Amino acid sequence: MIERFRMHFAPGMDERMVSVFLPGGYEESDAAYPVMYMFDGQNAFEEDKADYGNSWSLHEFAGGWEKDVIIVGIESSRESDRHLAEYCPYHLAPRMWEGLRGRGRSTMEWIVDSLKAHIDSRYRTMKDRLCTGVMGAGLGGLMSLYAVTAFNGVFSKAACLSVPVGICYPQLLRQVRDERIDPDTRVYLSLGESEARDRKMLAHLIACNLTIGNILQSKNAHVYPALLEGGRHCEADWKAQTPEFMRFLWLE
């Protein structure tokens, strides 16, 4: 079952659709459930609501999965400049998008203080960090990595797919190094082999991902670094990873 409601999104001064998948039997039970939040949530479920008609079909996966979990899809802006600003936690150098000033921290504060609080009051959720995860791809992957490090007291699990490390690597590296990370943290960090324009760029992206993963592991976090052979920067290839990252985050 998928429920939807619109909610005021303070960082963008507009409203965003929130889509909530509830496990089978939710209405007949009094059980509480863990929660997974997804960036670019318009792509979480049905094809007809997804960008370009391609979704992750998470309701189909979760409906037949062995662990019951609530999935919350958070709609993002369809305007490219606003999307980048809302999903970038850092101010960029002048050479990157004309020195864009990211509002990703404000986005995360809204998710934690407003959206999560609303979800926890409206649905039967397990509210603690061990039962709260986040996922996303591209800029959503960047935000997921930011969330699990900068807000590690709220999120213990993150699926970070195709993180665009090139736009903010120094800031991201500093973030991961400086934050206190609980050793029960789990991070799935993947990259598609076909996402780079050439072998040199691919080697650089791999090195960046491995450095981030190694820092997290040095803090005793559990990290799953993945390089997908032939993997592309697209919804279909991100969707295909769902069973693997969900197993790593929730079942191991």
- Look up the CATH number of the domain holding residue 227: 3.40.50.1820
Q: Tell me: the pLDDT tens digits for 92-128? A: 755 555 557 778 999 999 999 999 999 999 999 999 9
pLDDT for 93 equals 58
Mean pLDDT of 1-25: 92
Predicted TM-score (pTM) of the model is 0.94
Domain range for residue 125?
Answer: 2-250
Q: Is 32 within 8 Å of 69 (Cβ atoms)?
A: no
- Please, is 128 exposed, middle or buried when counting C-beta atoms within 10 Å of its C-beta (0-12, 13-18, 19+)? exposed
Work out how many domains the chain is built from and give that number.
1
Altogether, the residues listed in the chain come to a count of 252
199-218 and 169-178 are packed helices; what angle lies between their axes, rounded to 10 degrees? 10
* Cα radius of gyration (the chain): 17
